[in-house]
Amino acid sequence: MKKMKVAVVGYGGMGGWHAEHLLKSDVAELAGIYDIKEERSALAQSRGIYAYPSYEALLNDKEVELITVAIPNDVHEEVVVAALEAGKNVICEKPVTISLESLDRMIAAAEKNGVRFSTHQNRRWDVDYLAMKQIKESGEIGKVINIESRIHGSRGIPSDWRGEKVHGGGMLYDWGIHLIDQVLMIFGWDVKRVNCICDNITNKEVDDGFRLDITFVGGERATVEVGTYNFIAMPRFYMRAEKGTVLLSDWREEAKVVKCKYWHENDVLPVKTAAGLTKTMAPRDSVTTDTYTVAKPASDVHDYYRHFINAIRTGCEQDVTYDQMRTDLKVILAAFQSAETGMPVEL
Ligand SMILES: NC(=O)c1ccc[n+]([C@@H]2O[C@H](COP(=O)([O-])OP(=O)(O)OC[C@H]3O[C@@H](n4cnc5c(N)ncnc54)[C@H](O)[C@@H]3O)[C@@H](O)[C@H]2O)c1
């Protein structure tokens, strides 16, 4: 099938990523880029990529069926809506936008113009997350009680627009949106309540880290934590279920499962603590548990474009639905409200 012509708006860090991936795509062809900064256009041209002289010129290019928008978060809406109004299908970088009213205007523009609109939740193809999802869905450790998902770094928040509130900066919008989307993909989209505490360690204007607790309608719980001032990182994923526990220590590692074979133990060897012996906290042995690792699932991030282009061509449901975009954003906005008020927020 003929490749779909795609243009990228914003040739910064992520726009560069899209351009590079589109050049290798088996379903899409890079038509060119548009960036408001001349030096970014010049850089693209030096790499043999066509740079549109204006956004209007891009919108008037009839060959382009799909536009990917990769610019700072506060200006997504105006650029996305202009593309939708010009009859283009659109992929917008995450977070799709920074208010629900803004998202509703974007969705309404897509529906009015009969085109498709998606947001780039590319971390749905991360193998660490996919491993946790696969273990939960296999049922091998029974019903999952809670999951903890963390990303810890030690270099503070980037010193660009991400550090400024007006541009939709901060870690909830930057990394939070990915990790929230992942736990909603694992537990489903029925969120009951959120409780959030934000860090302002290296940046007073926007959150440079946070801890978000999500309770689902079914009773499951998720903790999502991002830190940029953590000189020792906690494990990437930890999951407890009726029949076992899963640990994924680092995104380069495989998941380790300890499954309970027998609940009852005849001879528990106590462990010594500073204050005396304990059987309650003594580790289990291989008589009552099975320990194994789970191989990393196969994943190809090009599937994001493959699936979306297929949805445009066939009319089938897209991976990232409008309802999912709304719920992801609602959770983020509720997290901000909870952090500000110091109270849990019901969704
Ligand atoms: N999905 C991911 O994994 C991922 C990773 C990084 C960034 N992002 C997202 O991508 C978007 C861009 O982030 P970035 O890191 O590439 O930022 P960046 O600052 O590196 O690049 C932004 C580019 O957009 C250009 N720009 C700004 N306004 C413009 C406009 N109106 N029209 C055309 N060009 C414009 C700037 O000149 C700059 O070159 C953000 O929404 C961010 O959250 C997503």
Q: What is the mean pLDDT of residues 156-172?
A: 95
Between the CA of residue 257 and those of 126, 136, 225, 282, what are the distances in Å? 19, 11, 22, 18
Nearest CA to ligand 1 atom 25: 10
Superfamily of domain 124-300+330-346: Dihydrodipicolinate Reductase; domain 2 (3.30.360.10)
- The pTM is what? 0.97
Name the range with the highest mean pLDDT among 78-82, 273-277, 284-288. 78-82
Pull the structure tokens for residue 140: 């091998």
Q: What is the mean pLDDT of residues 240-247?
A: 98
Indicate which atom in ligand 1 lies nearest the CA of residue 11.
Answer: 39
- Our answer on whether the CB atom of 160 is closer than 6 Å to any ligand 1 atom is yes
**Residue boundaries of the structural domains of the chain:** 4-120, 124-300+330-346
% of the chain surpassing 70 pLDDT = 100
The confidence band for 265, taking pLDDT boundaries of 50, 70 and 90, is confident
Does the pLDDT at position 37 exceed 90?
A: yes
- Our answer on whether the CB atom of 149 is closer than 6 Å to any ligand 1 atom is no
- Our answer on whether the CB atom of 77 is closer than 6 Å to any ligand 1 atom is no
The confidence band for 267, taking pLDDT boundaries of 50, 70 and 90, is confident
Q: Output the pLDDT for position 208.
A: 98
Does the pLDDT at position 159 exceed 90?
A: no
Nearest CA to ligand 1 atom 3: 122
- CATH architecture of the domain 4-120 equals 3-Layer(aba) Sandwich (3.40)
